[in-house]
Amino acid sequence: MSACVPTRHDHTSRSSRPPRASGIKRPHSPPPPPHGGRFRIPAADLSASVTVFLLAVPMSLGLAVAMDAPLEAGLISAAIGGIVAGLLGGTPLQVSGPSAGLTVVTAELIQIYGWRTTCAITIGAGLLQILLGSLRAARSALAVSPAIVHGTLAGIGVAIALAQLHIVLGGSPQSSAVANALALPDQLGRVSPAAPLIGVLTIAILILWPRIPGRIGRVVRRIPAALAAVVTATVVAAITAPGIARVDLPSWRSHALPEMPHGPVLALATAVLTVMLVASLESLLAAVAVDKLSADRAGGQATARSKADLPSASTPASASDSAPVRPDPACSSPPDPPVRRSDLDRELRAQGIANTLSGLVGGLAVSGGAVRSSANVRAGATGRASTVLHGVWVVLAAGLLVTALEQIPLAALGALVMMVGIQMVSFAHIRNVHKHREFLVYGATITGVLLFGVLKGVVIGIAVAVAVALHRLARTRISVTEQGGQHLVVVQGQLTFLAVPRLSRALARLPQDGDAVVELDGFFMDHAAYETIQDWSTAQTAHGGRVVFTGRSGGQIAEPASAAHSCCRPWTPWRNHHCHDRSGQTPETHHARLDTGRAPDCGSGAVEDRPPEHHTSHDASGAHSNPGPAGSPTAAPRRTGSNRLFSGLSSFQRNTAPLVREELARLAREGQCPSQLFITCADSRLVTSMITASGPGDLFTVRNIGNLVPPPDAESSDDSVGAAIEYAVDVLKVESITVCGHSGCGAMQALLGARPDPGTPLTSLWRWLRHGLPSLERMRSRHHAWARISGRLPADAVEQLCLTNVVQQLDHLRAHGSVARRLAEGTLQLHGMYFHVGEAQAYLLAEGASAGLALDEVFNRVDPGDAHASSDSHTPADAHALAGAHTPADSRSPGDADTPRPAAPGDPAGSGELERTGV
């Protein structure tokens, strides 16, 4: 079987895993690069750089036209963004260039201050970005409400579309979005047909190019739609409209450089802040989007590989069902290395350096572009080489393709940029902000940007967001109803000091000696509200009343730390996950919690039926307890069957999945690489991950009735266990195999129980238990010492057989060829383990007995302070001394067959012979 498990590229993520034995995993490591390979440019990056270059050139020229800036400035910023930001940035696949989000801002600055002062403003914005990146403020920029960010970009997009519509119609844009909208009727009245037709042709190609069906579509889609639209429009314009306005690239000798800014200091500082804010937000949002695109692409590649690696229908059943089986590395190319997540602070510093250099040489402001970056990712780029090369191609085009670039119609570039502006208004973002009730903030930001400019629009959006948050925080609805002599107080919304007066009035109207249920339907409670409820609850109880507090299903109420329920947390031990499975909590328990500020003991069973994330006293449905005959609430019923399964799955998705998703995604991408094979019983009380403190990817586990390992030549052998052993040893290259038995094993009890009727056919269970007969014979044999627990003899015959069975299954393991070969090489270890369920205590078989080299089969206790369990904890001599008080003959050698064996534990006859039961 030729298969391998992918190696991990990031070894630091599993630092808690013990080191591998030398040489074990080397066959699965990627081959070393050839000599000089570090200087090679991947073919995928070279191809992607050409694609991005063909998209960037027309966009750079179009944005320069939209800003009324020198056209060569667009090419300069594209080159510097690609080379400088590409080399220094924290997002390798992000492509930087002229900022679409700064189109309106830059156009306004050029009209007010001129081109040279605008370049100086760009330098100031770049220096400010470098400072903020050095202060590690990049992540803080993403704390701005997404509704404000997307509203700002959408407002800029609308302003861009309005301005470029004038160019498409053959005119010139005005100074603001409002002016462009007001001047549009007059522009439509004096339109000439040539420019609009070229613009419509460009837009049609941009829309239809990605939708060309069939094989032809797959081929032509390799060419960027922007390039295809601009080239087609240029050819058509050259034939049908030779007099149309075209790109005019001035001589590089007349290129203007920055000057010292002239104007009011406050206005210039505002301009620098605006350029920095918009460019930074656009770059950081694009970086986050690139991370998502890269992860999606990696996930798609992993899925495709897993589908390709599935065994065909003719392939025999093997361990492929348990772990991914991949072709041998020698006959398949390794997957692309995963791209690391963006370093946003480094990206912000790189954007600042690029803006500073771009302003110094007379270029436009630079930012990361979502359009260019997504094209780079989809073109298959694997690193920053693609971004840097695209900048090099722009430099060469600026020097060698001037004549070709001057043939492009301005209407085509205007249509291209207008489509970019329209795409900045994302309907997906609109749906999201509407779903989260943030559309008012989104709409206010767009309106502010269009009417007053970018910076003032952002300030308006922030003000509206704060007002909405305060309104929601202060909006608390309190209702009081009476149901069968019991008062129900429903509090909907957040409980803050603003709601305390109304809450106090509502509670004061309740009878002091009556029963009340308070349903807290919210997720936040401040200290003032908490004290109000606690004082009222204390007074109500003092007058003979009873109080029950509940909460809505799926909700969570944050309380002061002194009263926080510290029992149920996603990463606490297993018992705490199942607090909600216990019933019997009384109303006094509910009240005691608010009265004392302490959570009830989870282990006492006095915790009601509720999801584990609920830190308030309420049941899973959120409804209050039904009154009993005496008017006192009764405990919620215990959930069973599918309800328990659904609740557990829901709890996992809500609490644990967000914490483990990244690690599981890495394991899904890289494949499993466990260090141990763990063979244990299928008993539901034996939770392997709990008793071994292991997590996903650590154990390759095989569970069956009685933790049996059929010998390879056994009659009626079950191949599934052997297949798992073969796969774990030969493919996964595990370092150890552990056979774990446990107390009270039902399989061992069955082996010691009654024999089935000879006339009836054996059931599946009894056919499987045949593999445990050697353990029963070993326990009855005079040639083997009884297995013992350190410090005592086994409690009864069942425990004796459980211990003996572990030792016997280790012998069966050694009979497997793959295990025997690895043992001979010294690269595999076998371990025996016994877990006492009632004591929650683990015992390890002495090292010599696990290796089959010792006569004494002693299971040593694993203590909490042990860094690792080994046979050093009890030497053989110590084991003899510990057991000697009970039975000196226990340590006899197998050759002493003449000496009578002591009575077996649980054998009342004391004859030393257990009744032969068999099956």
pLDDT digits (tens, 9 = 90+) for 211-269: 888 888 888 888 888 888 989 999 999 998 888 888 877 776 767 788 888 888 999 99
Q: Whole-angstrom Cα distance, residue 913 to residue 898?
A: 14
Instruction: Name the percent of the chain in helix, strand, coil, to the closest 5.
Output: 55, 10, 40
Provide the token pair at 249. 């690239």
**Between 589 and 301, the higher pLDDT residue:** 301
Confidence band for 299, pLDDT divided at 50, 70 and 90: low
Q: Which residues pair with 666 in a beta bridge?
A: none
In angstroms, the CA 650 to CA 855 distance is 51
Query: Which of 1-10, 642-651, 655-664 has the largest mean confidence?
Result: 655-664
d(CA 588, CA 594) in angstroms, rounded, equals: 10
Q: Which residues contact 537 (CB under 8 A, 6 or more apart)?
A: 547, 549, 591, 594, 595
Average pLDDT over residues 307-324: 42
CA 912/CA 711 separation, integer angstroms = 28
Across 30-34, 613-617, 816-820, least confident range:
613-617
**pLDDT computed for residue 142 by the predictor:** 65
Residue 867: pLDDT band by 50, 70, 90 thresholds? low
Amino acid in the structure at residue 754: A
Please say if the pLDDT value at position 899 is more than 50: no
Q: Which of 150-159, 441-450, 870-879 has the highest mean pLDDT?
A: 441-450
CB atoms within 10 A of CB 345: 18
Q: Give dist(CA 551, CA 417) in Å, integer.
A: 52
Say yes or no to pLDDT of 885 above 60: no
Residue 565 has pLDDT above 50, yes or no: no
Q: Give the CB-side neighbour count of residue 70, counting CA atoms within 13 A.
A: 25
For range 79-94, the mean pLDDT: 92
In angstroms, the CA 26 to CA 20 distance is: 10
> Which of the residue ranges 31-35, 459-463, 506-510, 901-905 would you say has the lowest mean pLDDT?
901-905
Give the span between the Cα atoms of 357 and 222, in whole angstroms: 33
Q: Which range has the worst mean pLDDT, 315-324, 574-583, 644-653? A: 315-324
Angle between helix axes 115-134 and 103-113 (nearest 10 degrees) is: 130
DSSP lists the bridge partners of residue 677 as 700, 737
For the ranges 30-34, 59-63, 378-382, 597-601, the lowest mean pLDDT is seen at 597-601
Confidence category of residue 779, pLDDT binned at 50, 70, 90: confident
C-alpha to C-alpha distance for 41 and 389, rounded to whole angstroms: 10
Kindly tell me if the per-residue pLDDT of 33 is higher than 50: no
- Greater model confidence, 732 or 302: 732
- State the pLDDT at residue 499: 83
What does residue 740 show for φ and ψ, rounded to 5 degrees?
Answer: -120, 120
Q: CB atoms < 10 A from the CB of 344, how many?
A: 24
Reported as a single tens digit per residue, the pLDDT across 683-723 is 988 888 888 888 888 899 999 999 999 988 766 557 889 89
Q: Reply yes or no on whether the pLDDT at 29 is more than 70.
A: no
pLDDT reading at 625 higher than 50: no
Percent of the chain with pLDDT over 90: 21
Three-state DSSP class for residue 709: coil
pLDDT at position 204 is 94
Please identify which residue in the block is written with the tokens 């209407």: 411
| pLDDT-above-70 percentage for the chain | 73
Local confidence band at 903 (pLDDT 50, 70, 90 cut-offs):
very low
Which pLDDT band, with edges at 50, 70 and 90, does 900 fall under?
very low
Nearest CA among 334, 348, 305, 408 for reference residue 71: 408
pLDDT tens digits, one per residue of 208-219: 988 888 888 888
Asked if 5 and 671 count as a contact pair (C-beta separation under 8 A), the reply is: yes
Average pLDDT score over the chain: 75
What pLDDT score does 865 carry? 66
Measure the CA dihedral 62/63/68/74, to 10°: -90
Amino acid at 340: R
Q: Check residues 781 and 2 and name the one with the higher pLDDT.
A: 781
Angle between helices 177-189 and 439-452 (to 10 degrees): 70
Give the pLDDT score at 96. Answer: 92
**Rounded Cα gap, residues 30 and 37, in angstroms:** 14
Average pLDDT over residues 298-319: 51
Digit-coded pLDDT (tens) for 723-761: 999 999 999 999 999 999 999 999 999 888 877 777 777
Report whether 102 contacts 110 (CB < 8 A). Answer: no
Phi then psi for residue 833, to 5 deg, are -145, 145
Task: Please report which confidence band the pLDDT of residue 358 belongs to, taking 50, 70 and 90 as the band edges.
Answer: very high
Contact 445, 145 (CB under 8 A): no
Mean pLDDT of 349-375: 90
Distance CA 305, CA 353 (A): 40
Residue 763 zone, left/alpha/beta (φ > 0; ψ -120 to 50; rest): beta
Who contacts 60 (Cβ-Cβ below 8 Å, separation ≥6)?
A: 74, 75, 77, 78, 97, 98, 394
Distance (Å, whole) CA 822 – CA 808 = 19
- pLDDT number for residue 340: 63
The token pair at 5 is: 């498990």
In whole angstroms, how far apart are CA 68 and each of 63, 80, 506, 745, 832? 9, 20, 64, 83, 79
Mean pLDDT within 784-803? 84
User: 676-681 and 736-742: which strand pairing?
Assistant: parallel
d(CA 91, CA 342): 5
- Checking if the pLDDT of 613 tops 80, the result is no
The number of helix segments (H) and strand segments (E) in the chain equals 35, 13
pLDDT band of 547, cuts 50, 70, 90: confident
What pLDDT, on the 0 to 100 scale, is given for residue 13?
Answer: 40
Cα–Cα distance between 46 and 594 in angstroms, integer? 66
Dist. CA 83–CA 353, nearest whole Å: 11
Residue 594 has a pLDDT of 41
Q: Given pLDDT bands bounded at 50, 70 and 90, which one contains residue 856? A: low
The answer to whether the CB of 834 falls within 8 A of the CB of 802 is yes
